[in-house]
Amino acid sequence: MKNSNETKEMMALFAQNPQKGFEQIYKSFAGPVFRYLRNSFNLSREEAEDILQTTFMPWVKEPAKFFNVENPAGYLFTSARNAALKFKKETGPDRNETNRSNTQQNRIDHKIENELMIKKALESLPDEQKETVVLKIWTDMTFEEIAELQKCSLPTVASRYRYAIAKLKELIPWTR
Amino acid sequence: MDKMNKDQFEKYLEENAPTEEPSVDVFNALQKQAIWNQPAPTSRLSISMIAAITIIIIASAIAFYAYSANPLPKEPVSEATYEELPTLPELQPAEIIAQNEDIFEMGAYKLIKFKNEDFNLSFAQDNSCTTMLGFARELNNI
Protein backbone atom coordinates (compact mmCIF):
# COMPACT_ATOMS: atom_id res chain seq x y z
CA MET A 1 0.00 0.00 0.00
CA LYS A 2 1.02 3.63 -0.47
CA ASN A 3 2.75 5.87 2.05
CA SER A 4 1.18 9.12 3.15
CA ASN A 5 2.84 11.33 0.50
CA GLU A 6 1.84 9.01 -2.31
CA THR A 7 -1.66 8.85 -0.87
CA LYS A 8 -1.89 12.65 -0.82
CA GLU A 9 -0.74 12.87 -4.43
CA MET A 10 -3.20 10.18 -5.42
CA MET A 11 -6.10 12.00 -3.75
CA ALA A 12 -5.03 15.30 -5.33
CA LEU A 13 -5.09 13.62 -8.73
CA PHE A 14 -8.50 12.14 -7.94
CA ALA A 15 -9.82 15.64 -7.17
CA GLN A 16 -8.36 17.04 -10.40
CA ASN A 17 -9.15 14.14 -12.67
CA PRO A 18 -11.53 11.61 -11.05
CA GLN A 19 -11.14 9.06 -13.82
CA LYS A 20 -7.34 8.83 -13.65
CA GLY A 21 -7.30 9.26 -9.88
CA PHE A 22 -9.76 6.44 -9.42
CA GLU A 23 -7.65 4.12 -11.56
CA GLN A 24 -4.74 4.70 -9.19
CA ILE A 25 -6.84 4.30 -6.08
CA TYR A 26 -8.30 1.05 -7.38
CA LYS A 27 -4.88 -0.26 -8.36
CA SER A 28 -3.52 0.49 -4.88
CA PHE A 29 -6.36 -0.73 -2.70
CA ALA A 30 -8.55 -3.19 -4.60
CA GLY A 31 -6.16 -6.11 -4.13
CA PRO A 32 -5.56 -5.64 -0.38
CA VAL A 33 -9.26 -5.04 0.28
CA PHE A 34 -10.19 -8.08 -1.79
CA ARG A 35 -7.74 -10.33 0.07
CA TYR A 36 -8.91 -8.89 3.37
CA LEU A 37 -12.50 -9.77 2.47
CA ARG A 38 -11.56 -13.26 1.30
CA ASN A 39 -9.44 -14.17 4.31
CA SER A 40 -11.13 -12.34 7.17
CA PHE A 41 -14.72 -13.16 6.37
CA ASN A 42 -14.44 -16.54 4.55
CA LEU A 43 -16.07 -15.14 1.45
CA SER A 44 -16.04 -16.84 -1.93
CA ARG A 45 -14.38 -15.08 -4.86
CA GLU A 46 -17.74 -13.98 -6.22
CA GLU A 47 -18.98 -12.73 -2.86
CA ALA A 48 -15.74 -10.84 -2.20
CA GLU A 49 -15.87 -9.30 -5.67
CA ASP A 50 -19.48 -8.21 -5.15
CA ILE A 51 -18.59 -6.52 -1.88
CA LEU A 52 -15.49 -4.98 -3.44
CA GLN A 53 -17.65 -3.53 -6.20
CA THR A 54 -20.13 -2.20 -3.61
CA THR A 55 -17.24 -0.65 -1.69
CA PHE A 56 -15.87 1.23 -4.67
CA MET A 57 -19.19 2.10 -6.33
CA PRO A 58 -19.80 5.43 -4.52
CA TRP A 59 -16.31 6.55 -5.56
CA VAL A 60 -17.23 6.35 -9.23
CA LYS A 61 -20.85 7.49 -8.94
CA GLU A 62 -20.27 10.55 -6.76
CA PRO A 63 -16.52 11.16 -6.78
CA ALA A 64 -16.85 14.71 -5.45
CA LYS A 65 -17.92 13.34 -2.08
CA PHE A 66 -14.51 11.70 -1.65
CA PHE A 67 -12.17 14.45 -2.76
CA ASN A 68 -11.40 15.38 0.83
CA VAL A 69 -10.82 11.87 2.18
CA GLU A 70 -7.40 11.92 3.83
CA ASN A 71 -7.08 8.23 4.55
CA PRO A 72 -8.58 6.32 1.61
CA ALA A 73 -7.21 3.00 2.89
CA GLY A 74 -8.98 3.39 6.21
CA TYR A 75 -12.15 4.52 4.46
CA LEU A 76 -12.18 1.63 2.00
CA PHE A 77 -11.34 -1.05 4.57
CA THR A 78 -14.06 0.29 6.87
CA SER A 79 -16.63 0.32 4.05
CA ALA A 80 -15.65 -3.18 2.98
CA ARG A 81 -15.80 -4.43 6.56
CA ASN A 82 -19.27 -2.98 7.13
CA ALA A 83 -20.53 -4.46 3.86
CA ALA A 84 -19.02 -7.87 4.68
CA LEU A 85 -20.50 -7.93 8.19
CA LYS A 86 -23.89 -6.96 6.79
CA PHE A 87 -23.60 -9.67 4.15
CA LYS A 88 -22.66 -12.31 6.72
CA LYS A 89 -25.52 -11.25 8.96
CA GLU A 90 -27.97 -11.58 6.08
CA THR A 91 -26.70 -14.89 4.73
CA GLY A 92 -26.04 -16.61 8.06
CA PRO A 93 -23.23 -18.97 9.09
CA ASP A 94 -24.23 -22.01 6.99
CA ARG A 95 -22.58 -20.74 3.82
CA ASN A 96 -18.98 -21.31 4.93
CA GLU A 97 -18.60 -24.96 3.88
CA THR A 98 -19.39 -24.36 0.22
CA ASN A 99 -17.03 -21.41 0.12
CA ARG A 100 -14.16 -23.39 1.47
CA SER A 101 -14.47 -25.87 -1.36
CA ASN A 102 -14.33 -22.94 -3.79
CA THR A 103 -10.93 -21.96 -2.46
CA GLN A 104 -9.39 -25.28 -3.53
CA GLN A 105 -7.50 -24.79 -6.72
CA ASN A 106 -5.81 -27.19 -9.03
CA ARG A 107 -2.53 -25.33 -9.19
CA ILE A 108 -0.23 -27.15 -6.80
CA ASP A 109 3.05 -25.63 -5.90
CA HIS A 110 4.80 -24.97 -2.65
CA LYS A 111 3.63 -21.39 -2.20
CA ILE A 112 0.05 -22.26 -2.94
CA GLU A 113 0.25 -25.14 -0.50
CA ASN A 114 1.51 -22.80 2.19
CA GLU A 115 -1.16 -20.24 1.35
CA LEU A 116 -3.89 -22.86 1.63
CA MET A 117 -2.46 -24.17 4.88
CA ILE A 118 -2.37 -20.67 6.35
CA LYS A 119 -5.86 -19.97 5.08
CA LYS A 120 -7.19 -23.14 6.66
CA ALA A 121 -5.47 -22.31 9.96
CA LEU A 122 -6.87 -18.77 9.83
CA GLU A 123 -10.37 -20.10 9.35
CA SER A 124 -10.16 -21.88 12.70
CA LEU A 125 -9.56 -18.59 14.55
CA PRO A 126 -12.34 -16.42 15.99
CA ASP A 127 -13.43 -13.72 13.55
CA GLU A 128 -11.83 -10.77 15.37
CA GLN A 129 -8.46 -12.54 15.76
CA LYS A 130 -8.47 -13.63 12.14
CA GLU A 131 -9.26 -10.12 10.96
CA THR A 132 -6.53 -8.65 13.16
CA VAL A 133 -3.87 -10.99 11.77
CA VAL A 134 -4.91 -10.38 8.17
CA LEU A 135 -4.83 -6.61 8.63
CA LYS A 136 -1.58 -6.59 10.56
CA ILE A 137 0.42 -9.03 8.48
CA TRP A 138 -1.00 -8.63 5.00
CA THR A 139 -2.08 -5.01 4.78
CA ASP A 140 0.63 -3.46 6.95
CA MET A 141 -1.86 -1.64 9.13
CA THR A 142 -0.69 -0.45 12.53
CA PHE A 143 -2.40 -1.54 15.73
CA GLU A 144 -3.84 1.98 16.03
CA GLU A 145 -5.39 1.77 12.58
CA ILE A 146 -6.80 -1.69 13.30
CA ALA A 147 -8.23 -0.49 16.61
CA GLU A 148 -9.93 2.37 14.78
CA LEU A 149 -11.31 0.03 12.13
CA GLN A 150 -12.58 -2.54 14.62
CA LYS A 151 -13.82 0.19 16.99
CA CYS A 152 -12.01 -1.23 20.02
CA SER A 153 -9.08 -0.32 22.24
CA LEU A 154 -5.41 -0.70 21.38
CA PRO A 155 -4.68 -3.31 24.11
CA THR A 156 -7.62 -5.38 22.85
CA VAL A 157 -6.17 -5.45 19.34
CA ALA A 158 -2.69 -6.27 20.61
CA SER A 159 -4.03 -9.07 22.76
CA ARG A 160 -6.13 -10.48 19.89
CA TYR A 161 -3.06 -10.45 17.69
CA ARG A 162 -0.87 -12.23 20.27
CA TYR A 163 -3.45 -14.96 20.86
CA ALA A 164 -3.97 -15.43 17.11
CA ILE A 165 -0.25 -15.74 16.36
CA ALA A 166 0.21 -18.24 19.21
CA LYS A 167 -2.68 -20.34 17.89
CA LEU A 168 -1.40 -20.19 14.29
CA LYS A 169 2.05 -21.30 15.43
CA GLU A 170 0.44 -24.42 16.85
CA LEU A 171 -1.65 -25.09 13.74
CA ILE A 172 0.87 -24.41 10.97
CA PRO A 173 3.88 -26.70 10.60
CA TRP A 174 6.06 -23.89 9.32
CA THR A 175 9.75 -24.02 8.50
CA ARG A 176 12.15 -21.33 7.38
CA MET B 1 8.20 -0.03 15.08
CA ASP B 2 5.68 -2.79 14.56
CA LYS B 3 7.73 -4.17 11.71
CA MET B 4 10.88 -4.34 13.82
CA ASN B 5 9.15 -6.55 16.38
CA LYS B 6 8.07 -9.17 13.87
CA ASP B 7 9.39 -12.64 14.66
CA GLN B 8 10.29 -15.42 12.23
CA PHE B 9 6.78 -16.83 12.16
CA GLU B 10 5.24 -13.45 11.35
CA LYS B 11 7.76 -13.04 8.54
CA TYR B 12 6.83 -16.50 7.30
CA LEU B 13 3.15 -15.45 7.23
CA GLU B 14 4.09 -12.24 5.46
CA GLU B 15 6.05 -14.12 2.80
CA ASN B 16 3.13 -16.42 2.22
CA ALA B 17 0.60 -13.69 1.88
CA PRO B 18 -2.22 -14.55 -0.48
CA THR B 19 -1.69 -13.14 -3.95
CA GLU B 20 -5.25 -13.36 -5.16
CA GLU B 21 -6.50 -10.40 -7.15
CA PRO B 22 -10.07 -9.46 -8.04
CA SER B 23 -11.07 -10.16 -11.61
CA VAL B 24 -10.99 -7.41 -14.21
CA ASP B 25 -14.78 -7.63 -14.41
CA VAL B 26 -15.08 -5.69 -11.14
CA PHE B 27 -13.07 -2.78 -12.49
CA ASN B 28 -14.96 -2.88 -15.79
CA ALA B 29 -18.32 -2.88 -14.00
CA LEU B 30 -17.23 0.11 -11.92
CA GLN B 31 -16.05 1.97 -15.01
CA LYS B 32 -19.37 1.25 -16.68
CA GLN B 33 -21.22 2.83 -13.75
CA ALA B 34 -18.75 5.71 -13.38
CA ILE B 35 -20.10 9.22 -13.72
CA TRP B 36 -17.37 10.14 -16.21
CA ASN B 37 -18.60 7.40 -18.55
CA GLN B 38 -22.25 8.35 -18.36
CA PRO B 39 -23.62 9.96 -21.54
CA ALA B 40 -24.82 13.53 -21.28
CA PRO B 41 -28.55 13.78 -20.62
CA THR B 42 -29.65 14.23 -24.25
CA SER B 43 -32.39 11.65 -24.37
CA ARG B 44 -35.76 12.62 -25.85
CA LEU B 45 -37.38 12.61 -22.44
CA SER B 46 -34.73 14.91 -20.97
CA ILE B 47 -35.07 17.38 -23.85
CA SER B 48 -38.86 17.49 -23.54
CA MET B 49 -38.55 17.98 -19.76
CA ILE B 50 -36.10 20.85 -20.22
CA ALA B 51 -38.38 22.44 -22.88
CA ALA B 52 -41.44 22.18 -20.62
CA ILE B 53 -39.63 23.76 -17.68
CA THR B 54 -38.32 26.58 -19.90
CA ILE B 55 -41.83 27.32 -21.23
CA ILE B 56 -43.22 27.44 -17.69
CA ILE B 57 -40.49 29.84 -16.59
CA ILE B 58 -41.00 32.14 -19.62
CA ALA B 59 -44.79 32.14 -19.19
CA SER B 60 -44.43 33.01 -15.51
CA ALA B 61 -42.02 35.84 -16.33
CA ILE B 62 -44.38 37.29 -18.97
CA ALA B 63 -47.34 37.11 -16.61
CA PHE B 64 -45.35 38.80 -13.88
CA TYR B 65 -44.22 41.69 -16.10
CA ALA B 66 -47.70 42.12 -17.53
CA TYR B 67 -49.11 42.41 -14.04
CA SER B 68 -46.36 44.84 -13.00
CA ALA B 69 -47.14 47.15 -15.97
CA ASN B 70 -50.94 47.25 -15.42
CA PRO B 71 -51.71 46.44 -11.87
CA LEU B 72 -55.34 45.68 -11.11
CA PRO B 73 -57.39 48.70 -9.89
CA LYS B 74 -57.83 48.79 -6.22
CA GLU B 75 -61.35 48.30 -4.98
CA PRO B 76 -62.65 51.31 -2.99
CA VAL B 77 -62.64 50.53 0.60
CA SER B 78 -65.63 51.82 2.49
CA GLU B 79 -64.67 53.82 5.49
CA ALA B 80 -65.39 52.41 8.82
CA THR B 81 -68.78 53.52 10.10
CA TYR B 82 -69.13 54.73 13.61
CA GLU B 83 -72.34 54.05 15.49
CA GLU B 84 -74.06 57.29 15.98
CA LEU B 85 -74.39 58.19 19.58
CA PRO B 86 -77.82 59.56 20.66
CA THR B 87 -77.57 63.33 20.82
CA LEU B 88 -79.19 64.74 23.88
CA PRO B 89 -80.21 68.40 24.01
CA GLU B 90 -77.96 70.26 26.27
CA LEU B 91 -80.13 71.51 29.10
CA GLN B 92 -79.47 74.78 30.82
CA PRO B 93 -79.91 74.94 34.61
CA ALA B 94 -82.94 77.23 34.20
CA GLU B 95 -84.69 74.71 32.00
CA ILE B 96 -83.96 71.92 34.44
CA ILE B 97 -85.52 73.96 37.17
CA ALA B 98 -88.56 74.68 34.98
CA GLN B 99 -88.99 70.99 34.18
CA ASN B 100 -88.97 70.08 37.84
CA GLU B 101 -90.92 73.08 38.99
CA ASP B 102 -93.84 71.07 40.31
CA ILE B 103 -91.58 69.11 42.59
CA PHE B 104 -89.99 72.27 44.01
CA GLU B 105 -93.35 73.88 44.64
CA MET B 106 -94.65 70.87 46.61
CA GLY B 107 -94.46 71.05 50.31
CA ALA B 108 -92.89 68.33 52.42
CA TYR B 109 -96.24 66.76 53.14
CA LYS B 110 -97.27 66.60 49.46
CA LEU B 111 -93.88 65.28 48.49
CA ILE B 112 -94.10 62.46 50.99
CA LYS B 113 -97.73 61.77 50.19
CA PHE B 114 -97.42 61.60 46.39
CA LYS B 115 -93.85 60.55 45.89
CA ASN B 116 -93.40 57.91 48.56
CA GLU B 117 -96.35 55.66 49.17
CA ASP B 118 -94.71 53.62 51.90
CA PHE B 119 -94.12 56.57 54.10
CA ASN B 120 -96.03 56.80 57.39
CA LEU B 121 -98.17 59.90 56.97
CA SER B 122 -99.42 60.05 60.54
CA PHE B 123 -95.88 60.34 61.68
CA ALA B 124 -95.24 63.17 59.23
CA GLN B 125 -98.15 65.21 60.63
CA ASP B 126 -96.88 64.96 64.15
CA ASN B 127 -94.64 68.02 64.66
CA SER B 128 -93.40 66.81 67.97
CA CYS B 129 -91.56 63.98 66.31
CA THR B 130 -89.75 66.05 63.65
CA THR B 131 -86.99 67.02 66.02
CA MET B 132 -85.08 65.36 68.74
CA LEU B 133 -86.40 67.99 71.15
CA GLY B 134 -89.96 67.06 70.40
CA PHE B 135 -89.04 63.42 70.87
CA ALA B 136 -87.50 64.24 74.25
CA ARG B 137 -90.64 66.13 75.28
CA GLU B 138 -92.71 63.08 74.47
CA LEU B 139 -90.49 61.02 76.70
CA ASN B 140 -90.97 63.48 79.55
CA ASN B 141 -94.72 63.21 79.26
CA ILE B 142 -94.61 59.46 79.77
Q: Which residues of B touch A120 (CB under 8 A)?
A: none
Contact A104, A136 (CB under 8 A): no
Q: Decide: residue A48, CB within 10 A, 0-12 exposed, 13-18 middle, 19+ buried.
A: buried
Of residues B14, B26, B34, nearest to A53 (C-beta): B26
**CA distance, residue A93 to nearest chain B CA (Å):** 24
**CA distance, residue B46 to nearest chain A CA (Å):** 20
Q: A118 vs B16: CB contact, 8 Å cut-off?
A: yes
* Average model confidence (pLDDT) across chain B: 74
Q: Residues A72-123: pLDDT tens digits?
A: 999 999 999 999 999 988 887 656 544 544 554 444 567 777 888 888 899 8
Among all residues of chain B, which has the CA nearest to that of A122? B13
Contact A118, A129 (CB under 8 A): no
Q: B8 vs A118: CB contact, 8 Å cut-off?
A: no
- Backbone torsions φ then ψ of B2, nearest 5 degrees: -60, -40
Residue B126 is predicted with a pLDDT of: 56
Residue B46 is predicted with a pLDDT of: 79
Of residues A38, A49, A174, nearest to B23 (C-beta): A49
A:B CB pairs within 8 Å: 82
Q: Residues A122-166: pLDDT tens digits?
A: 989 999 999 999 999 988 899 999 999 999 999 999 999 999 999
Tell me which of B129 and A133 has the higher pLDDT.
A133
Average pLDDT over residues A160-174: 91
Q: Which residues of B touch A60 (CB under 8 A)?
A: 30-31, 33-36
Is the full-model pTM beyond 0.90? no
Residues of B with CB under 8 A from a CB of A: 2, 8-10, 12-14, 16-23, 25-27, 29-31, 33-36
Contact A50, B68 (CB under 8 A): no
Q: Which residues of A touch B2 (CB under 8 A)?
A: 136, 142-143
* Average model confidence (pLDDT) across chain A: 87
> Is residue B39 scored above 80 in pLDDT?
no
Q: A118 vs B13: CB contact, 8 Å cut-off?
A: yes
- H or E element that contains A72: helix A72-91
Q: Supply angle C-alpha B120, B125, B131, rounded to 5.
A: 95
**CA distance, residue B66 to nearest chain A CA (Å):** 43
Q: Residues B64-113: pLDDT tens digits?
A: 888 887 766 677 766 666 666 667 777 667 767 677 766 666 677 776 66
Q: B17 vs A168: CB contact, 8 Å cut-off?
A: no
Q: Decide: residue A56, CB within 10 A, 0-12 exposed, 13-18 middle, 19+ buried.
A: buried
Listed residue (A157, A154, A145) closest to A74, CA to CA: A145
Q: B20 vs A119: CB contact, 8 Å cut-off?
A: no
Residue A116 is predicted with a pLDDT of: 82
Q: What is the ipTM of this complex?
A: 0.79
Q: How far apart are CA A66 and CA A21, in angstroms?
A: 11
- Backbone torsions φ then ψ of A79, nearest 5 degrees: -60, -45
